[in-house]
Amino acid sequence: MDAATAKALLSPRVLALVLTALFPLSMTVIFLTGLWVCGTFALRVARLALQLTVWRGTNLDKYGARKGGWAVVTGASDGLGREFALQLAEKGFNVALVSRTASKLDKVAQEIAALPGEKVSIIQHPIDFAKAGEQEWARLEAALTPLDIGVLVNNAGLNHSAEWSEFIAAPPQECVDIVSVNVAAAVRMARMLLPGMVSRKRGLLLNVASLAGGTAPAPLWATYSGSKAFLITWAQAVATELAAAKSGVDVLVVMPGYVTGGMAKQVETSFHTPNAARWVRCALASIGLSGGALGMDYVSTPFWAHALMDFGLRQFGLQNTFRKSMHGYLSKERERAAKKQ
């Protein structure tokens, strides 16, 4: 191309003609891209709304309710575990209560026995997951494996003793105990009971994680937060294996936010902060649904307020911002609590 031709092509008149020809095309591309983005988001919002209001989860009869099936609940002595035990018994499961304190298990067993309707069988097995040795695990396995277990709720959990504490200030043994209870015990319980479920072609592995592990890590709860993140990725991998094998066993991780009566001692029940009974009711009604955890296979945020927060943080990429703001907020809460002492 000689200099004269190049000069002619770059003249203002030629450039104006080129831009005029390309402008409609570029606007079309921008319009279609915007339409696709907005349409995809609208469909996700619609799906979220339907899951939280209209759609219902898997009927628990599939797992043996009212058919002699058993539900095993770890951490069953109080909080979410107690509610899982009570509500699963109400739905017709025999219940195996597993937790650390025998006296608390006795109380929960009495509550289950006093429920109206058809009576269910109850067994109790106290075990401290943070300290249990091989003999104690063997006794637990001997008690549970002969049962027709349809549901395992891995609910047992341990948090830091100090309400808010930097990782480097946390007692080393406490960090080990958190991993032992939240991670190792969940893995051992599943490894113990899943083979029986697979052989019966029926079962549900329900892991109780946390928004602090699945949506945005919680500073000042570092080891707890990491342990709950493990539950999610581990369960997704196990679920994929079981689904590929057409085992008939379902796996779901449920992620609560703040729930009164649980580990968050400083919160009170409100319209958007449920008590344990309300949250467990939502969780059991949402088996197979993702709630606010759209796009995460085998994971659910069942309660509406937690679901909206989870959905919003993910869709708008705000997890890092939320994590940093939570660190600032919890640090100030810790300072206020220290001044009151």
CB 216 within 8 A of CB 326: yes
Helix (H) or strand (E) holding 13: helix 12-53
Residues known to be catalytic: 224, 228
How far, rounded to the nearest angstrom, does the alpha carbon of residue 155 sit from its chain's CA centroid?
11
Distance (Å, whole) CA 293 – CA 39: 19
CA gap 264, 337 in Å, rounded: 14
Q: Phi and psi (nearest 5°) for 289? A: -105, 155
CA 17 to chain centre: 58
Query: By C-alpha distance, which of 280, 269, 237 is closest to 75?
Result: 280
Angle between helices 172-179 and 222-244 (to 10 degrees): 20
